[in-house]
Amino acid sequence: LRGIEVTSCEVVGNRALIPDKQITGRVTQRAARKGNMVVGGSIKTDLRYEGLEPLIANVFGTAGAPSTVDISAKKHVFVLKDDPDGVFGTLAYEIIKDFGIVEIPSAKIRKLKLTAKSGASPELDFDLLGFDYNNTSVVNTTTTIDTVTLPANREYAVFNALAGGETTNEEAFLLQT
């Protein structure tokens, strides 16, 4: 399993309630029924040279295998899919070590924002929606999360004047699906 280092994971779930307005002959109203679970929020992470490929591919919809450039550099090709409707992923995270896992089995990244400030690491903000969340998963457990690996090259991406990417003010790039 591949892991992603994040600076924040602000994902919340809210169960919609459907009111029951039927007349029962009693003074009290009937209890509401469960509606859809609405899950949404964002995952923020610093831009790194490796490790964010699954999230970025989820935004674009198509990703080819990276090719090696020179000796160790990797070139990635992400292509915007014409119809990104069927592109979903599973987000699983551990809030407290060995306490429990929260799993969003049908997460859809709907927006990607890249923010760069001079003298700081660029930050990616993935805004997502989900249909449901599960805190009793039999697939993603505390034991499974302990087997997650991070990429070997976890260096931050850097923009500088020599690369032509110097920013004097905060700049934001936005991609929405």
Give the pLDDT confidence of 83-97 residue by residue, as tens digits. Answer: 777 788 888 888 788
Chain centroid to CA 114: 14
pLDDT tens-digit series, residues 122-134 = 899 999 988 788 8
CA distances from 24 to 21, 33, 47, 78 (A): 9, 16, 58, 58
pLDDT of residue 162: 46
Amino acid at site 126: F
- Residues 19, 32 contacting (CB under 8 angstroms): yes
For the cut 90, the answer to whether the pLDDT of residue 5 exceeds it is no
Cα–Cα distance, 113 to 79 (Å, whole number): 17
Helices (H), 31-134: 53-60
- Written as six digits, the tokens of 149 are 């690996």
> What is the pTM for the complete model shown?
0.71
pLDDT tens-digit series, residues 24-68 = 777 777 788 877 777 888 999 998 877 888 888 888 887 777 787
Element containing residue 11 per DSSP (H, E): strand 8-18
pLDDT tens-digit series, residues 149-163 = 888 777 777 665 444
Cα–Cα distance, 52 to 63 (Å, whole number): 12
Amino acid at site 132: D
Cα–Cα distance, 92 to 140 (Å, whole number): 7
For the cut 80, the answer to whether the pLDDT of residue 71 exceeds it is no
